[in-house]
Amino acid sequence: MKLALPVAVGLGVLLAIPMMLQWERPPMDSTQQGYRGTGMVEVDNPRTVAKQMAAVVIPEAQEPAEKYGDKASDVYENVQVLGDLDQAEFDRLMLAITEWVSPEQGCNYCHNPENLAEDSVYTKVVTRRMLQMTKTINNQWGEVHAQPTGVTCYTCHRGQPVPQNVWSINPGPRQAGGMAASRMGQNLASPQVGLTSLPYDPFTDLLGKDGNIRVNATSALPQGTSDASIQATEKTYGLMMHMSQSLGVNCTFCHNTRQFTDWSQSPEARVKAWHGIKMVNKINQTYMDPLASVFPDNRKGPQGDVLKVNCATCHVGVNKPLYGANMLKDYVTELNAAKSQ
Ligand code: HEC
Ligand code: HEC
Ligand code: HEC
Ligand code: HEC
């Protein structure tokens, strides 16, 4: 009987440890990504996946448009990018973007209700660029990245004017002066990089400026051929943490981790991801950054730059955005109509 208390405490501790470590009960699902024995396996908890899938809401498509036979540019006063659409398709697209971007605020989120042709509300000017950007993503980046699922405004916006996952240049938290206090852009458990202490802003250089991600030496001697600093290497790892997190996958989804560099040992997904990196740089440099003069200050980051796109903006934790639901197919004509100004 004397032993009962220590035994009970011991058992309690043993049970508490897995709970503290967020132990998940079996059964788990696993999908093999590489040869047997390489450990290249994605492990998912089917109960968590079911919950995540149930949380994804896909709005029903608008009724198909029955053409009126009049071009929008003939009927309306100030259509600069959608002029070639039939008026019925144009109106249908207005309904759809309202549902995708500003369902609570309605048409007036982009329009002065007194005069729909006026450009006085900045969101209308932003939207012209967004229409051109969405078209570019589906066409220029369709084959190598976004198709067959395709991208609509909803992929990023999900019923909100500002997408849930965006980034801007991150100067880090305020800190005391002096060398010792400097964090050098890292050493802070940061959600962008999976709560590691890796550099918390890998985005500015690598997803905003086409910076160099390759850090591995390609030969052993002399001193290897890589002149990448430790900090540049950590930035690459920071980006990789972000990519894994955004897609809800492990490193082995894209790498055989015995040789991170080698493309011939990597799953095909890595090639898609490489195009994804190029695409995101293009989106940010060509479409987001130049909107700096259009966005008001409260829509910018602490350094005054525009809120930008990373992998999580579209993917939101899933390897194919919206679990591969193709919303584009119902709006092919409308979302391909935007002319460049
Ligand atoms: C997310 C922004 C946004 C929302 C929400 C929106 N619009 Fe528009 N609307 C635009 C843009 C951008 C144009 C100009 C398109 C162009 O230049 O080709 C436009 C143009 C128009 C025009 C043409 C006006 C003219 O004479 O030039 C009409 C009509 C219109 N919208 C109606 C609506 C209606 C009705 C709703 C709500 C169901 C709506 N819009 C919601 C962005 C929006
Ligand atoms: C690749 C992701 C992505 C896609 C696709 C996308 N957007 Fe955006 N959108 C953004 C980001 C990022 C912002 C910047 C948020 C900010 O600073 O307001 C933004 C901003 C906006 C804003 C300004 C909102 C505000 O309150 O300031 C509007 C309006 C908008 N988008 C409409 C659209 C429409 C309409 C489409 C489809 C034709 C679209 N977007 C497609 C990422 C996207
Ligand atoms: C979604 C796919 C994807 C995931 C997940 C991913 N990577 Fe990568 N990784 C890439 C791509 C693509 C490149 C090459 C980028 C380039 O060449 O510009 C790369 C490059 C790298 C490099 C640099 C290789 C070199 O040549 O110097 C390292 C190191 C790396 N990844 C490590 C990781 C680690 C560690 C993880 C998990 C935390 C990870 N990756 C997860 C796609 C991925
Ligand atoms: C504009 C939206 C968008 C952005 C931003 C984006 N992706 Fe994607 N990505 C997609 C779509 C849509 C698909 C699905 C394509 C398909 O149907 O196979 C996809 C598919 C992928 C796949 C293949 C997944 C699979 O299971 O076959 C990888 C890997 C990937 N993306 C990596 C990335 C990485 C890494 C980034 C950031 C550097 C990124 N993506 C940014 C839209 C996007």
What confidence tier does 223 reach under pLDDT thresholds 50, 70, 90? low
Task: Report which protein residue has its CA nearest ligand 3's atom 33.
Answer: 240
Ligand nearest to the CA of 196: 3
> Residue 127: how many CB atoms within 10 A of its CB?
17
- 271-294 residue pLDDT tens: 999 999 999 999 999 999 999 999
CB of 160 closer than 6 angstroms to any ligand 1 atom: no
Task: Report which protein residue has its CA nearest ligand 3's atom 42.
Answer: 270
Q: Ligand 1: distance of its center to the CA of 13 in Å?
A: 62
Q: Ligand 2: distance of its center to the CA of 107 in Å?
A: 15
- 199-215 residue pLDDT tens: 999 999 999 999 999 99
Question: Given CA atoms 311, 313, 318, 321 in this order, what sign does their dihedral have?
Answer: negative
Rounded distance, CA 121 to CA 113, Å? 10
Rounded distance, CA 188 to CA 198, Å? 8
Rounded distance, CA 331 to CA 93, Å? 8
Rounded distance, CA 15 to CA 227, Å? 49
Q: Ligand 2: distance of its center to the CA of 83 in Å?
A: 21
Ligand nearest to the CA of 309: 2
Mutate to test the pocket of ligand 2, among 121, 151, 152, 156 (most ligand atoms within 8 A of CB): 156
Q: Ligand 1: distance of its center to the CA of 339 in Å?
A: 15
Task: Report which protein residue has its CA nearest ligand 2's atom 30.
Answer: 127
1, pLDDT greater than 60: no
- Of 15-24, 239-248, 253-262, least confident by mean pLDDT is 15-24
Task: Report which protein residue has its CA nearest ligand 1's atom 40.
Answer: 94
- 136-194 residue pLDDT tens: 999 999 999 999 999 999 999 999 999 999 999 998 877 766 666 677 888 888 888 98
Terminal C-alpha separation, the chain: 85
